[in-house]
Structure 1
């Protein structure tokens, strides 16, 4: 017969183990709360690293804080902390959705998009937690984070690339990396600097503890040797970015072009802009006519071509526009203008049309990446609850497939429309097709005086560096700008102000490594992230068998 033995101390205090267990549980909950607060603070740092603030260095710090949060955690916990990071980052970053839709639909569209994007950052957190157990953990964790960014740039409904790490770096030392490997390499550089910094902090902490426990040098040698990889990972992206900086060419290799960017302004009425097409058109035709008058009076030098924003015109298949044609004939130079257009089959699209003297409308570009629930409407039967575009357009727009390269005086003008600039393929395709100058007509008047226009300008600056081309940003209500090939802003306008920029810009024919191999760098980083998940899974299985 087996008899149980009871510790006399426990017999006298029957609730001791229960109280101890409760204390341990409380401590665990406090630790989880502390980690959640740190994850939220990391998301807040990422937001403050974003435009219009020029605090690029906060992004690696945010990644360092988050890496410490998920270090040693299970994948499920990493997902939760990543989700918290995502909410703290995405909700304030996308605050312009409240300016856009909040008055009519309340906070639900803003919350919905923020939640979906936070889920992808949750996946990043889960992957980073698992990859943190691998040798050279910072490399694997960085690849996982960028792979999650690439995934949310494709899914769902064509993805939403807003808020990628690369778009926080337009004023920083890591921006030149865009000319080598595009957004994927810049994002990987940010993540590697941050994750390696976290390992460096842990290594220094161990070194300090070893020094307190022993005065001998032998005990410190191990931790000291272990700092080499974190130091290298922290410094290498910054050093490489600084080394690449002198290679960012700005010289006029194919001459120059005098350009005019017309911002006719728009009313700050949010969603009501849906039904102000005529006012947008009238404002920009008037501004273009003022430019004509200034040129004819000799107050402004005649430009080689003119760029007007997105959504100025509205044309049928015959492309008739007497007022715009009059402007073109008086100026005697091409005018590049965006608008809604139908083709001979009646299909609606968002286009850029080149109007030339003596020929009218000729070359066109059709927007490649359509905005979900606006230009294309999934789940149309229920989307009316969150999108006013269901009532405005009875059918989806069609997307284009071909790169946009238009003849504009001495320039071969590579174009994208608004949302296109967030995606890697549009301007890469234009550069490969011979564009020596870029332009992105856009309409940001929907979003009031929010940060949205500045966030989009940052993307334009990155594209300029990525392909070594000047970028012309033509916005209805601002911010319009002339961006140099090194990402610097030469000229810009204010929000909700009618203005015209006339400037001389370099035309460049050379290509950057990113133009040639940028997509392969993207695939390589994504593959590295997937490999990290495979290796961490195999490692976990071996550990369970060994146990």
Structure 2
């Protein structure tokens, strides 16, 4: 029996991994969760906890393999830490399995687990949420109703219902067929119901946006290369190539241009050479350009900045990244970590987080700037849309993780955010994947990785908000409270049952 539980958990973890990019076998997500539920059902909380931990390790090791670019030790520590959340969820699931309608309560616990992962430790790590495996599936449209949490809930509920059917079918009795058929029908209904969700229509307004991917010379942790300003020159040259293509009639004239995060490796506020290169390239293209820069704040700190550069007036409005990458842009527990871990010194100046949304006026529109890592954070993207950002411009620097499974995972997040907020998404990345995603989540144009590339795309400007944008985190909190309440009731009933047995 224990061996069967372990086998089901391992198979479930592997199936869940295959649902994520680059494989994108989205149907494997509910099937994987069904196997995970089957491995936990009927187990005591303590056993369920270590089974859940094992399953999470099997799932997260390949899903987060891109972290190996930093170091195998970091990869293993991250997987080990994140798996604790799955263990806690599994222990609580073992309790709610004793209640009627437990697939619902299990789905709520799954949402609570993903919420907790995105909160702690050190700012959380909301990557590899089940919703991000469903950017082009029958579950995708739930994002427009309740955001990523509702998508995760729907997939978890579907998987739990399939497990319910399998477990019911294993019992003898005349009603076994009905017990199997009803939950299977409900499981099929969960994704099919999205076909009835209305989608906002086109509003008849568009904007031309230039996208520049300049590429970088190095790979891994040394992606900047040894020659100063090479990243800056690459992106300036590609911007000039875009301007030339426009003059030759090969591309339409853009209203604005977007460059990636870290498209200049030198602070343009402090370095006249960097300022001149940027100014020349922006003047050549002739429209406001969004630059990605790491700029100094005082003598010891920095900011990861999305900076609007006007061809006449130079640098202007900006957005500073709010969700910073631990050990990449700042060092948590700095004194201890720097003393014990030499690689942490590569962070250099410590970044300071911004505290305002990325609504930036550029030409005829107010774009919504979102910076790389923060696309995984619901409240950051939602806050930018609520502030008036449309379309969304996602700047990224994935050079450290080029050709790993990170760029396609990030592209999947872009697609889900487009549907969630009814906004076109323009993504500019240093080494790829740069892309244009329509508000329906479909990719209209994308680059290959590790090449210089550029284009001008016609993007719809949408202002109508989805239900998910308006209600914010309310569905997530409702689902979490539902799961927590069920776990509390199950624990209370178990204690009462134990008390009665002792009294007898």
TM-score normalised according to structure 2 size: 0.94
The aligned residue for residue 538 of structure 1 is: 492
Is the Cα contact below 8 Å between 2:17 and 2:63 reproduced in 1?
Answer: yes
Give the 5 Å matches for 1:410-429.
410-429=364-383
The aligned residue for residue 43 of structure 2 is: 73
The aligned residue for residue 8 of structure 1 is: none
Distance 1:238 1:371 in 2: 34
Give the 5 Å matches for 1:314-329.
314-315=266-267, 321-329=275-283
Secondary structure of 1:469 counterpart: coil
The aligned residue for residue 38 of structure 1 is: 8
Secondary structure of 2:351 counterpart: coil
Matched, 1:292 2:257: no
Matched, 1:239 2:202: no
Is the Cα contact below 8 Å between 2:329 and 2:347 reproduced in 1?
Answer: no
Secondary structure of 1:388 counterpart: helix
Correspondent of 1:124 among 48, 69, 89: 89
Is the Cα contact below 8 Å between 1:96 and 1:450 reproduced in 2?
Answer: yes
* Cα distance, 1:396–1:229 mapped onto 2, change above 3 Å: farther
Task: Give the CA deviation at 1:417.
Answer: 0.5
Distance 2:279 2:66 in 1: 35
Task: Give the CA deviation at 1:344.
Answer: 6.3
The aligned residue for residue 388 of structure 1 is: 343
Distance 1:424 1:327 in 2: 34
Matched, 1:475 2:429: yes
The aligned residue for residue 256 of structure 1 is: 206
Distance 2:343 2:397 in 1: 17
Task: Give the CA deviation at 1:250.
Answer: 5.4
The count of aligned residue pairs is 496
Give the 5 Å matches for 1:443-454.
443-454=397-408
The aligned residue for residue 22 of structure 1 is: none
Is the Cα contact below 8 Å between 1:180 and 1:518 reproduced in 2?
Answer: no
The aligned residue for residue 59 of structure 1 is: 29
Larger Rg: 1
Distance 1:329 1:266 in 2: 23
Q: Which runs of 5+ in 1 are unaligned?
A: 1-30, 211-219
Is the Cα contact below 8 Å between 2:4 and 2:39 reproduced in 1?
Answer: no
The aligned residue for residue 115 of structure 2 is: 150
Distance 1:157 1:112 in 2: 14
Per-residue CA deviation, residues 23-50 of structure 1 (Å, 9 max, x unaligned), is xxxxxxxx22331122111111111010
Task: Give the CA deviation at 1:240.
Answer: 2.1
Distance 1:352 1:236 in 2: 43
TM-score normalised according to structure 1 size: 0.87
Distance 2:322 2:283 in 1: 30
Is the Cα contact below 8 Å between 2:218 and 2:224 reproduced in 1?
Answer: no
Per-residue CA deviation, residues 461-497 of structure 1 (Å, 9 max, x unaligned), is 1110000001011000011000010111000000101
Correspondent of 2:353 among 390, 399, 406: 399
Is the Cα contact below 8 Å between 2:95 and 2:487 reproduced in 1?
Answer: yes
Is the Cα contact below 8 Å between 1:368 and 1:400 reproduced in 2?
Answer: yes
Task: Give the CA deviation at 1:274.
Answer: 5.2
Distance 2:147 2:488 in 1: 26
Distance 1:458 1:431 in 2: 19
The aligned residue for residue 317 of structure 2 is: 363
Is the Cα contact below 8 Å between 1:254 and 1:506 reproduced in 2?
Answer: yes
* Cα distance, 1:419–1:242 mapped onto 2, change above 3 Å: same
Distance 1:439 1:540 in 2: 51
Matched, 1:101 2:101: no
Task: Give the CA deviation at 1:271.
Answer: 1.0
Task: Give the CA deviation at 1:224.
Answer: 4.9
Q: Which runs of 5+ in 2 are unaligned?
A: none
CA RMSD in angstroms comes to: 1.9
Is the Cα contact below 8 Å between 1:267 and 1:445 reproduced in 2?
Answer: no
Q: Which moved more, 1:151-160 or 1:338-347?
A: 338-347
Secondary structure of 2:250 counterpart: coil
The aligned residue for residue 222 of structure 2 is: 272
